[in-house]
Amino acid sequence: HPGSATIKLASEDPPPIVTLTALTATASEAGTIPGRFRIRRADQVSVPLTVYLTRTGTATPGTDYPAFPLTVTIPAKAYFTDILITPVNDILPEGPETITLALKANTAYTRGTPSSATVTITSDDPRPTITVTASRPTASEAGLATGKLTFTRTGSTAYALTVAYTVTGTAT
């Protein structure tokens, strides 16, 4: 028919599926191995995609590793972006500390699986060793001879250390 037209409406594409993984799940304080999170989208790479994150864990941003924003953008024409975790090399002997990131819900994307990941920071600082010796093992009740315990610390002395100890025996 002349003078008429047909319009066909295209269906809207569903939002891209986004996943979050820890490519390098252990980071060393010695600086030789940074941790690496990867945020990946499955499709729709023609435009940038902003992804929102939450952060939990025992490591402290700004103290144990440089703080970073909880919003990342996967650039146009890219399937992923990475977040590097370079631990701060402090002098404190400490146990492993964690950083856990998770994808926040957002209408711009669908959270896929996995949607959270953890990087563990390992310390390169050895724990000190404390030894105790009875440098004067004999004491008298009259106070003429006093006993003496000596605590010896090996390892770094660059920070304060509190030692908890218990005294046992038959003396009252």
Phi, psi of 139 (to 5 degrees): -135, 155
Q: What is the pLDDT of residue 9?
A: 53
* Claim: this prediction has a pTM higher than 0.85: no
Question: Over 80: is that where the pLDDT of 156 sits?
Answer: no
Please give the angle made by the CA atoms of 86, 65 and 68, to the nearest 5 degrees.
Answer: 95
- pLDDT tens, residue by residue, 45-76: 899 999 999 999 999 999 999 999 999 999 99
Residue 81: half-sphere exposure toward Cβ, Cα within 13 Å: 14
- pLDDT tens, residue by residue, 91-115: 777 889 999 999 999 999 999 999 9
Residue type, 73: T
How many residues can be counted in the chain?
Answer: 172
- The residue written with tokens 């940038």 in the block is 48
Task: Pick the more confident residue, 130 or 84.
Answer: 84
Distance CA 50, CA 54 (A): 14
